Amino acid sequence: MSSKNTYMANGFDPSTLDSLDPEMRAMVERRSRVLAPSYRLFYREPVEFVRGSGVRLFDSHGRSYLDVYNNVPAVGHANPRVTQAVCEQMSRLNTHTRYVTLPIIEYSERLIGLFPEEIGQVIYACTGSEAVDLALRIAKYETGRGGVIVTRHAYHGTTTEAATISPSLGPHRPTAGWVRYVDAPDTSVEGADAGRLFADRVRQTIDGLESDGTGFAAFIADSIFSSDGLQADPAGFLKPVVDVVHAAGGLYLADEVQPGFGRTGDAWWGFLRHGILPDLVILGKPMGNGMPISAVVGRPEVLERFGNDMRYFNTFGGNSVCIAAANAVLDVIEDGNLLENIRRLGGLLGTGLRGIARDYPMLSEVRGCGLFYGVDVVTGPGSQAADKDGAERIVNALRQRRVLISSSGREDNVLKIRPPLVFSDADLEEFLGSLRSVMEDLHG
């Protein structure tokens, strides 16, 4: 088996295989024989799951784990309404988009109705990576230029184009001369000036692309900077960036795979917290609760020339079964009034995390909104030095208590807290109690 992977936070170290119990060791060995080394496991001690329900995952011994990490099953594992919709549609029809079918029209009308009126058309794909790849193609074709700007530790996907703009994948990812990197906003250092300083960095980078002949096509950002360690506030700090991008003739691409569908609590989409209007918006598998559906939603005038000139067709992007799943996800969010629940619980989550951080100085800063928070882990009181090992200890101690989170950020020292949207008050109480107990044990 390969040596420890240094480019995935919270990864299992294969060199410790012999420390696992015999049953798990045998399964991991079987897995490694048939799955390529690119498949990696979470946690020092991997866990096997056989069933999920809501915010719970169950292992092969029937033990329940609280999921405070997985955003793809947005409305909960094995959601019954999504499951029923998928099964019913699968028993009726599953086909591509070159036939006229009513469900994709009705769903598209419903989806577009959740966006500002300027955003009026959609193209479907199967994964967020495909949608990112498509958005880049559209931007380059529309502008006639090739340069793309991303943040320095971004993650946008795994196709060749998407991996090229995903520096968080590590030094062996594809690279290209058309990509430029900027430091993400850092409100802990830059404070109220974070948005202006970020826009200045983007402007300078655009100037470099123009001066070297590459030209500037697009700026793309995950609207909550998930892989850069999470930056949510102050709401509105992205406004100056949009102005800079448009002044240079480029397109603003909002990656909503992680912050979308109400996760940030203030609105359906993370970009709305900042009061901005993207040119293209990228959605991923949370829109179908894990079914293979994604989308690029955009302004019709941006999509028109590409759509007329290009023979783009994703065979089962927007297929009948996945559309049924996506429609059921909207039903669950709307009928369950989940946006209000996310907003309310998000406030309680932030308050609870800050209360724990006050008692344990190695938790230096809490950032986030809605049901998406990051907590910096540092080496000691008053320190700004990242403590990756400390974050790993916390994540794995929670895993031993059967509570699942992970870590992120440039130094892998940011606790990443991102539960399914059906999280409840009781779930929140369990998570905060478990985190406090872990911190007490670590400082005991």
The reported pLDDT for the residue numbered 444 is 64
Rounded Cα gap, residues 234 and 191, in angstroms: 9
Is the confidence at residue 6, as pLDDT, over 80? no
Is the confidence at residue 2, as pLDDT, over 50? no
* pLDDT (average), residues 69-81: 98
Is the confidence at residue 36, as pLDDT, over 70? yes
Is the confidence at residue 47, as pLDDT, over 60? yes
Is the confidence at residue 384, as pLDDT, over 90? no
How confident is the model over 113-165, as pLDDT tens digits? Answer: 999 999 999 999 999 999 999 999 999 999 999 999 999 999 999 999 999 99
Is the confidence at residue 42, as pLDDT, over 50? yes
* pLDDT (average), residues 172-186: 94
Q: Which backbone phi and psi does 104 adopt, to 5 degrees?
A: -70, -30
123 half-sphere exposure, CB direction, 13 A CA radius: 28
Please, what's the b/e burial string for 327-347 (b: 16 or more CB within 10 A of its CB; e: otherwise)?
A: bbbbbbbeeeebbebbbebbe
Q: Yes or no: say if 216 and 243 are a contact pair by the CB < 8 Å rule.
A: no
Rounded Cα gap, residues 357 and 366, in angstroms: 8
Please, what's the b/e burial string for 197-235 (b: 16 or more CB within 10 A of its CB; e: otherwise)?
A: bbbebbbebbeebeeeebbbbbbbbbbbbbbbbbbbeee
Q: Yes or no: say if 237 and 198 are a contact pair by the CB < 8 Å rule.
A: yes
Q: Residue 314's pLDDT band (boundaries 50, 70, 90)?
A: very high
* Residue the block writes with tokens 């994948």: 169
The reported pLDDT for the residue numbered 192 is 83
* pLDDT (average), residues 399-424: 96
How confident is the model over 414-426, as pLDDT tens digits? Answer: 999 999 999 999 9
Q: Residue 266's pLDDT band (boundaries 50, 70, 90)?
A: confident
The reported pLDDT for the residue numbered 7 is 60
Q: Structure tokens of 135?
A: 């958005």
Which residues fall within 8 angstroms of residue 154, CB to CB, at 6 or more apart?
165, 166, 167, 168, 184, 220, 221, 222, 225, 227, 228
Rounded Cα gap, residues 382 and 26, in angstroms: 45
How confident is the model over 191-233, as pLDDT tens digits? Answer: 889 999 999 999 999 999 999 999 999 999 999 999 998 999 8
Q: Minimal CA–CA distance to 294: which of 325, 250, 328?
A: 325
Q: Yes or no: say if 377 and 390 are a contact pair by the CB < 8 Å rule.
A: yes
Q: Set out the domains of the chain in order of their start, with CATH numbers.
A: 47-68+338-442 (3.90.1150.10), 80-335 (3.40.640.10)
Q: Are strands 56-59 and 280-283 parallel, antiparallel or unpaired?
A: unpaired
429 half-sphere exposure, CB direction, 13 A CA radius: 3
Q: Which of 125-139, 167-181, 420-434 has the lowest mean pLDDT?
A: 167-181
Q: Which backbone phi and psi does 257 adopt, to 5 degrees?
A: -60, -40
Rounded Cα gap, residues 52 and 64, in angstroms: 9
Q: Yes or no: say if 91 and 440 are a contact pair by the CB < 8 Å rule.
A: no
Cis ω before 234 (30° cut-off from 0): yes
Which residues fall within 8 angstroms of residue 292, CB to CB, at 6 or more apart?
126, 127, 285, 316, 322
The alpha carbon of residue 265 and the mean position of all alpha carbons in its chain are separated, in whole angstroms, by: 15
Q: Minimal CA–CA distance to 85: which of 318, 389, 322?
A: 322
Q: Are strands 64-67 and 406-408 parallel, antiparallel or unpaired?
A: unpaired
